Amino acid sequence: MIDQIKRKLIIKYTLIIAAILLSGFIASYLTYRHNLIHFLEENLTDYLADEVWEAKDYVITQKTAPTIHLINNNNKIIHNFTYWFFDKHLTYAEVPEDQALASRLLTSLTEQPWEEFKAYHLKLRGSKKKFHFLMMKKDLHLRDGRHLEVFALSNYKPIIKSFQRYAHVAIYVIVAALILAYLLGNLLASRSMKYIKTSYEKQKQFVSNATHELRTPLSILLSYAELLEYKAQDPELQQNIKDEILHMNDLIENLLCLARYDNNTTELHTKKFELSSEVRKAINHISELSPDAVIKLETSRKINICADQGMIYQLLYILLDNAIKYTPKKKKITVKLSSDNHNTQIVVSDNGTGIAPQDLKHIFDRFWRGDKSRHQKGLGLGLSLASEIVKLHKGKITVESSPKGSDFIINLPLK
C-alpha cells in the first residue's frame, strides 16, 4: 500500500511540474511570437509610409511603362519590397526572381480585396521553397480621379524559422525538465512517504499494543470467572476482578481520549482559574491513593491561567501518578509553579531512579515503558496523554533526568 501511494504521488508531482513547465513554455512562446510579429508589423508600417510618398512622386513624373526590379528570393533574411498599381495596372514592382513565386504573388495582390493598413499573412510556394509574407496596403485617390494602390511586403520566413528553433529547443528543455521533475517528484514523494510510513507504522504498533493490553485483563477476568465457580464468596477474588475491570476501563478511556486528540475532535473549554488550587486538588486526590508519598507544592504567588481546567487537572494527575509509580520507597515529589509575562511553568520533580538517556526520546510514545514489561500496573498511555494535552494548549513539555530523579517541565502560554 505504501509503495502504491508513493507511485501515485510521484505521478502527481511529475504531472503538476510538467503542467507548470508546459504552461510556462506556451506563455513564453506566445509572448515571443507576438512581440516579433508586432515589431515586424511596425517596421512594415513605416516602410509602407515611405513607399506612399515615393509613389506620389512617381505618379507626378507621369511615367507610363512599368518599372520592374528583380530581387533575390532568399528567404533566409528579412527583406521588404513593394508593388504599386496605378488604376489597376502594375506601375512599379520589386519582383522575386522565382517566376512561380512572382506569378502567385501578383495573382494574390490583384484578385482579392485587401483592407487598408491591415496586416495580412500570405503563404506562397515558389518553384522549390515555401515563403511567408507579411503584407499591408494603402489606397490613394488623386485629384484627377485616378487611383493608386501601394502594397508593402516583408519576407518573414526567418521569423518562422526562429519560432521553430525556439520550439525545438523548448521541447528538449521540457524533456530534460520532465526527467528532472520525475526525479524531484520521487524525492518529494519519498520525503512525504517518510512521514506517512512513520504514521502508518505507529498506527500498526498502536493497534497491536492496544490489542495486547486489552487481551491481558480479559484473560485474567476469564481466569477469575472460572475460579468463581469454586470460590464464589472469596472477597479477595472479587476485589481482583473489580481491579481488573477498573484497569480495563482506564485503558479504554485513555484510548478514547487519544483517538479524539488524533481526530482533532477535542474542544478546549477554556476559562480563567487559579492554578495552585487545581494542583492542590490533584495532590489531595493522589495522596489518598498513595499515603506514603510526600508531595509538596512550591509557589511564591497566585498564578491565574486561561486554559481547559479539566484537562489541566488531568495533566497534573498524570504527572503526579507517574512520579509516584516510578519512585521507590521514601517518595518525595515536588510541584513548582512560576510565571512571567508570557508563560506559566509547572515542574514536577521526583527522587526516583531516573530515566535512562536512551529512553528519554521515547518517554511520550504510546504504550512505551522502559523495561518493556507487560505486567506493570501502568498502561503506557499516561505521558502520551499529557503530551497531547500540552500540545492542545500550544505549550511544551520536556524531561530532564538523572539517577537522582526526574523533572517534567511544562511551559504553557498565559493566554
Domain CATH for 375: 3.30.565.10
pLDDT, mean of residues 212-224: 67
**Which grid cell is 169?**
529547443
Q: What is the DSSP track for 36-91?
A: HHHHHHHHHHHHHHHHHHHHHHHHHTT--S-EEEEE---TTS-EEEEEEEETTEEE
Instruction: Identify the pLDDT of residue 148.
Output: 87
Checking if the pLDDT of 189 tops 90, the result is no
Is residue 136 located within the same domain as residue 285?
no
Report yes or no on 186 lying in a domain.
no
Q: How many domains does the chain have?
A: 2
Final residue of a structural domain among 133, 165, 197 = 165
Kindly list the distances between the CA atom of residue 15 and the CA atoms of 18, 168, 177, 185, in Å, as whole numbers in the listed order: 5, 21, 12, 9
- Sorting pLDDT into bands at 50, 70 and 90, what band is 60? low
Report yes or no on 359 lying in a domain.
yes
Stated as kind and residue range, the H or E segment containing 95 is strand 89-96
User: 311: closest CA among 413, 414, 412, 389?
Assistant: 389
- Sorting pLDDT into bands at 50, 70 and 90, what band is 97? confident
Checking if the pLDDT of 135 tops 90, the result is yes
pLDDT digits (tens, 9 = 90+) for 283-320: 998 887 778 788 999 998 889 999 989 889 989 988 99
- Sorting pLDDT into bands at 50, 70 and 90, what band is 327? confident
Instruction: Identify the pLDDT of residue 143.
Output: 74
Q: Beta-carbon neighbour count of residue 322 at 10 Å?
A: 21
pLDDT digits (tens, 9 = 90+) for 350-366: 988 888 888 888 888 87
Final residue of a structural domain among 137, 165, 193 = 165
Checking if the pLDDT of 63 tops 70, the result is no
Instruction: Identify the pLDDT of residue 412.
Output: 93
Phi-psi region of 398 (alpha: psi -120 to 50; beta: other; left: phi over 0): beta
Question: Residue 42 sits in which domain range?
Answer: 2-165
Report yes or no on 284 lying in a domain.
yes
Final residue of a structural domain among 111, 130, 165 = 165
Half-sphere exposure of 204 (CA within 13 A, CB side): 6
Q: What is the DSSP track for 179-248?
A: HHHHHHHHHHHHHHHHHHHHHHHHHHHHHHHHHHHHHHHHHHHHHHHHHHTT-TT-HHHHHHHHHHHHHH
Report yes or no on 302 lying in a domain.
yes
Report yes or no on 28 lying in a domain.
yes
Report yes or no on 256 lying in a domain.
no
- Sorting pLDDT into bands at 50, 70 and 90, what band is 198? confident
Report yes or no on 242 lying in a domain.
no
Instruction: Identify the pLDDT of residue 168.
Output: 84
pLDDT digits (tens, 9 = 90+) for 261-281: 666 666 788 899 999 999 999
Checking if the pLDDT of 372 tops 60, the result is no
Instruction: Identify the pLDDT of residue 229.
Output: 65
Report yes or no on 181 lying in a domain.
no
